């Protein structure tokens, strides 16, 4: 293959890649142009695919603060709820997964593989099949309708995936290092704390990104557990915004952009680790 001159094959490859690039970006384009339009302009359907005539940040202001006199809630409170929910749930489930993954890769006992498989099943179940008892139990222990209840739920159902990712990650750490620590007299916790934990940073980055993204984006648990609008996370609030009677599409698109931004930024900055989590999620990483 010559590096110089026109090569139709290479040209075709780039053309296709570029076409798909455009195709994948269509929703982003629509979201951006609509969110910078005024309400009057977004209603002009003949201009739907055209950029705004006079770009304005008005729709972002409305999406963020709402219009109290029209009963339209802003998303600022809900985005705060999402952070309050996602950060603790992510940290706790990552720590749990790290300990579990450590035991299941370095301290296997009889039946450990069976326990691991039974754990993994929890990752695949349709959550509808546990939703009725779940709402009852969460209410019975006094966490109904609270962010705390939702944190507990995300910690519990996060165990399978965080354990899986850490187990795969620790499997790459040579057993000799663990053996050496044991010979030096370190116990289970000592070995974890002094040997494995310091090596765990890349594993934690993968798991934290994965959990942050899934919990931030989750909808089903949030919509069933949290009925009060001031408690709901951003996904539920966005859904309500798009389903409300006052349908201002510029505001809805601005809201969608606001809801998407945190995970999008995380992905753009730390994409490498995001992909690693993605591949680990396919059971046999």
> Closest separation between CB of residue 55 and other proteins, Å?
18
> Closest separation between CB of residue 61 and other proteins, Å?
19
> Would you count residue 147 as binding other proteins (CB under 8 A)?
no
| Helix, strand, coil percentages, rounded to 5, for the chain | 75, 0, 25
Rounded CA separation 208/95 (Å): 10
Which of 65, 219, 246, 269 is in the footprint of other proteins by CB under 8 A?
Answer: 219
> Would you count residue 269 as binding other proteins (CB under 8 A)?
no
Nearest to 157 by CA among 237, 198, 218: 218
> Closest separation between CB of residue 190 and other proteins, Å?
11
Interface map 157-196 toward other proteins (x if CB under 8 A): x-xx--x-----------------------xx--------
Rounded CA separation 32/11 (Å): 30
> Closest separation between CB of residue 80 and other proteins, Å?
17
**Interacting positions 40-99 with other proteins (CB under 8 A):** 45-46, 48-49, 96, 99
In sequence order, the 6+-apart residues with CB closer than 8 A to the CB of 159 are 93, 96, 97, 100, 119, 122
Closer residue to other proteins in complex, CB, 34/81: 34
In sequence order, the 6+-apart residues with CB closer than 8 A to the CB of 230 are 77
Rounded CA separation 144/58 (Å): 36
Contacts of 66-73 spanning 24+ positions with Cβ under 8 A: 70/246, 71/246, 72/241, 72/244, 72/246, 72/251, 73/229, 73/237, 73/240, 73/241
Binding segment toward other proteins, per CB under 8 A, in 68-76, 142-150, 197-205, 235-243: 235-243
In sequence order, the 6+-apart residues with CB closer than 8 A to the CB of 21 are none
Closer residue to other proteins in complex, CB, 69/176: 176
Which of 20, 179, 190, 269 is in the footprint of other proteins by CB under 8 A?
Answer: 20
> Would you count residue 13 as binding other proteins (CB under 8 A)?
yes
Closer residue to other proteins in complex, CB, 33/147: 33
Closer residue to other proteins in complex, CB, 3/69: 3
Interface map 93-132 toward other proteins (x if CB under 8 A): ---x--xx--xx--x-x---xxxxxxxxxx-xxxxxxxxx
């Amino acid at each position: 293959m010559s590096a110089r001159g026109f090569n139709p094959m290479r040209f075709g490859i780039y053309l296709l890649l570029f076409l798909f690039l455009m195709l994948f970006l269509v929703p982003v384009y629509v979201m951006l142009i609509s969110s910078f339009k005024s309400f009057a302009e977004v209603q002009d359907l003949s201009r739907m695919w055209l950029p705004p005539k006079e770009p304005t940040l008005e729709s972002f202001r409305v999406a963020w603060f709402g219009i109290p006199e029209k009963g339209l809630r802003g998303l600022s409170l809900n985005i705060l709820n999402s952070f309050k929910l996602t950060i603790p749930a992510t940290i706790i489930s990552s720590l749990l997964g790290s300990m579990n993954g450590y035991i299941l890769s370095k301290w296997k006992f009889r039946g450990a593989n069976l326990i691991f498989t039974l754990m993994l099943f929890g990752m695949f179940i349709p959550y509808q099949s546990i939703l009725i008892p779940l709402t009852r139990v969460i209410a019975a222990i006094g966490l109904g309708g609270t962010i705390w209840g939702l944190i507990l739920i995300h910690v519990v159902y996060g165990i399978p995936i965080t354990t899986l990712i850490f187990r795969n990650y620790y499997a790459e750490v040579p057993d000799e290092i663990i053996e050496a620590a044991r010979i030096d007299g370190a116990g289970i916790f000592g070995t974890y704390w002094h040997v494995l934990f310091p090596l765990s940073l890349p594993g934690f980055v993968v798991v934290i990104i994965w959990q942050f993204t899934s919990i931030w984006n989750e909808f089903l648990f949030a919509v069933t557990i949290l009925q009060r609008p001031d408690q709901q996370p951003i996904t539920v609030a966005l859904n309500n915004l798009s389903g409300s009677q006052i349908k201002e599409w510029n505001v809805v698109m601005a809201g969608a952009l606001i809801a998407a931004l945190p995970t999008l930024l995380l992905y753009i900055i730390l994409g490498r680790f995001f992909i690693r989590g993605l591949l680990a999620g396919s059971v046999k990483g």
